[in-house]
Chains A and B, each alone.
Chain A
Amino acid sequence: MSEAATGAQTPMEQHPAADPVVVPRRRPWRWVGMAVVALLAVMALHGLVTNPAFGWYTVFRYLFTRPILAGLGMTLLLTAIAMAGGILIGTVLAVLRDTDSRLLAGASLAYTWFFRTVPVLVQLLFWFNFGALYKHIALGIPFGPALFTLDTNSLVSPLSAAVFGLMLSQGAYTGEIIRSGINGVESGQARAARALGMTRAQVFRVIVFPQALRIIIPALGNEVISMVKNTSMVSVLALSDLLYSAQLIYSRNYQTIPLLIVATIWYLVVVTLLTLLQGRLEKRFGRGVQKR
């Protein structure tokens, strides 16, 4: 090595020798934990394979049968309609809640209070029996003549009762989620947008709501996943959703566990897909935020 090079290194000599070997801290308990988890996993897998009561043959025989797939379709349909309606109701509730009118804000609050309080199961049964409360439903001028009248029982089907029950209570929850999302957008955003000359509607649509979605989507994704499973409550109305379809089959062939597994597999598939979708949406509406 040349004289000059050695000279250049002089300040380094105050430090410990170059490239010391880094020894990570030992974590013995982590190894113990890993061993326990691995053991439990193997035991569970062993049970799944060796216990004949799981009836895997029956599971695969029924997994793609018509009644199960029709039930799955009903579950997805109910989820979609109830969530779409719930989001619509929720948006209206959120907007009303933050108006200057005490009556409108109070109405929104009362709705939220009522529909979050009454169990969904009670609501499903209530709407199904709505005919006992009002025999006819008429469309007309309030307190005036009716334009046309319908028999309530012709309007209330298990499907419409299920949709109403799920949608109305979902609206109450969604309203709170949307409201917290909107309030989570810093107020200067709306000010800046209004200063540019945007109308209130434009400010909401272009500036506030897209930013609120970033806060709303994770919570709303949770609600969609909840809804997929809450729809199983409609079995009390004898509506053939995924779970009720499985129940109908095992009530005839007594293969209870295999058919519950069939339903479980489909719930797993649907929720997994929804989770992936949620991740993509979060990324889409998080634009401009994570990048630093």
Chain B
Amino acid sequence: MTATPMLRIENVSKSYGGHQVLRSVSLDVDAGTVTCIIGPSGAGKSTLIQCVNHLERVDSGLLRVDGRLMGYREKGGRLYELSDREIARQRSEIGMVFQHFHLFPHLTVRENITTGPTLVRRVDRATAAARADELLDRVGLAGHGDRYPAQLSGGQQQRVAIARTLAMDPKLVLFDEPTSALDPELVGEVLTVMKDLALSGMTMVVVTHELGFAREVADRVVFMADGAVVEEGTTSEVFDRPRHERTRAFLGRVLRT
């Protein structure tokens, strides 16, 4: 089992002002697996996955996706930050789903999905549109292509956002609290789509408060607190036999409700 992990995070640290949000975080994610990152708010979970595709710059440490260094070129022991175009190309291989969807409100649902492939990959319009309709069908929104995001419910918008990111055929999809902004009755439809995606073999890193989803779908669970990884292991290791007091306390608080 020496295959390169799909994502390798090595000793990543980051501060905002004087506040350290990530403290030497290291993590490996194997291809085809689902990793859920759980923990109290302010633990640095979202910052960590925003660092993965260089939307946030790390202060120190390295991130490798599929063996390739993210955002930098290594030469003679120095790291040179890549150009805007090169970083954009790296990002195009990593999907990202946001807490607040961030669909483009001035574009139709179909245009939201085709804009990445046509602009970044130079896929022709007709092919991209056909693929978009296929993906909409896959997330259960067939026939919604001509509507605008504002005409959809939150759950529908998040499923469009997932279709938008899948249209780029990513190697890895990052989910930043994908259900936290949804009304409770809409959470299920988004989680169902994510489960299907996990079953299809997609490599996923999911920051989530949905412990039920983590328990059911995750291969590995990471518990973070105060900017550091406290505990990491298989689902049953972390949920059933947590080794650290902080993990036990967090799980106790969350599972009781």
CA–CA, A198 and B95, complex, Å: 13
Q: Which residues of A contact B91 (CB under 8 A)?
A: 194-197
B98 near A193: Cβ-Cβ < 8 Å = no
Residues of chain B from 95 to 146 with CB closer than 8 A to chain A in the complex: 95-96, 98, 100, 102-108, 115-116, 119-120
Closest Cβ–Cβ distance, residue B47 to chain A (whole Å): 13
Q: Which residues of B contact A292 (CB under 8 A)?
A: 150-151
Q: Is A191 an interface residue (CB 8 A)?
A: yes
Query: Which residue from B108, B150, B164 sits with its C-beta under 8 Å from A196?
Result: B164
Size of chain B's interface in residues, with CB distance under 8 A? 34
CA–CA, A152 and B144, complex, Å: 63
A289 near B150: Cβ-Cβ < 8 Å = yes
Query: Which residue from B102, B120, B151 sits with its C-beta under 8 Å from A192?
Result: B102
CB nearest to A187 among chain B residues: B102
CA–CA, A199 and B119, complex, Å: 10
Q: Is A211 an interface residue (CB 8 A)?
A: yes
CA–CA, A292 and B108, complex, Å: 13
CA–CA, A206 and B88, complex, Å: 15
Given contacts A194-B88, A195-B96, A196-B168, contact A189 B116 (CB under 8 A): no
A198 near B119: Cβ-Cβ < 8 Å = yes
Closest Cβ–Cβ distance, residue A221 to chain B (whole Å): 19
Q: How many A-B contacts if CB must be within 8 Å?
A: 81
Which secondary structure characterizes the binding site on chain A? helix
Q: Is B53 an interface residue (CB 8 A)?
A: yes
Q: Which residues of A contact B84 (CB under 8 A)?
A: 199-200
A211 near B106: Cβ-Cβ < 8 Å = yes
CA–CA, A49 and B161, complex, Å: 64
CA–CA, A191 and B50, complex, Å: 10
Query: Which residue from A198, A285, A288, A289 sits with its C-beta under 8 Å from B116?
Result: A198
CB nearest to A211 among chain B residues: B106
CA–CA, A206 and B90, complex, Å: 20
Closest Cβ–Cβ distance, residue B35 to chain A (whole Å): 18
CB nearest to B108 among chain A residues: A288
A192 near B104: Cβ-Cβ < 8 Å = yes
CA–CA, A263 and B158, complex, Å: 56
Given contacts A196-B91, A197-B92, contact A285 B151 (CB under 8 A): no
Q: Which residues of A contact B254 (CB under 8 A)?
A: none
A288 near B148: Cβ-Cβ < 8 Å = yes
List the interface of chain B (C-beta within 8 A of A). 53, 55, 84-85, 88-96, 98, 100, 102-108, 115-116, 119-120, 148-151, 161, 164-165, 168
